């Protein structure tokens, strides 16, 4: 309960800070757009190692919740912005496992048939 209360207090402080910045017109759509514009076309301009470094600097932390990856960015105004990305790998892994199991079953059945009907 104390941990949840502390998290709620932290969220409230964050929301108040965002509200104050918005009221002061320091945080607006242009600020957020400019922040994310840094990453535009990075696949074309950077090699994979530099891409990882850039993503790491833009999003210093992340949280994985079930099939949702939440990247946490910190804007220059010290405001957190979360970017949510659906992670479809669990579905893909399950589908691949299913296909592999079906292939194994077919293989076992084929081997059984060949063994029963030698020659």
Which tens digit of pLDDT belongs to each residue from 14-60?
Answer: 888 777 766 666 555 666 676 667 666 677 777 888 888 877 877 88
In this structure, are residues 7 and 65 in contact, taking their beta carbons and an 8 Å threshold? no
Cα radius of gyration (the chain)? 25
Q: Give the DSSP H or E segment for 64.
A: strand 61-65
As a whole number, mean pLDDT of residues 98-116 equals 90
pTM for this entry: 0.44
Question: Cβ-count burial of 27 within 10 angstroms (0-12 exposed, 13-18 middle, 19+ buried)?
Answer: buried
User: 71: which residues sit within 8 A by CB, 6+ positions away?
Assistant: 59, 62, 82, 83, 84, 85
**Residue-level pLDDT at 77:** 65
């Amino acid at each position: 309960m104390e941990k949840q209360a502390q998290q709620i207090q932290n969220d409230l402080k964050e929301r108040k800070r965002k509200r104050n910045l918005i009221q002061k017109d320091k945080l607006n759509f242009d600020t957020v757009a400019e922040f994310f514009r840094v990453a535009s076309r990075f696949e074309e301009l950077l090699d994979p190692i530099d891409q990882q470094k850039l993503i790491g600097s833009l999003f210093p932390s992340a949280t994985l919740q079930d099939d949702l990856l939440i990247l946490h960015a910190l804007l220059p105004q010290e405001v957190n912005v979360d970017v949510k990305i659906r992670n479809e790998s669990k579905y893909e892994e399950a589908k691949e496992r299913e296909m592999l199991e079906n292939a194994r079953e077919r293989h076992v059945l084929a081997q059984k048939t060949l063994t029963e009907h030698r020659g």
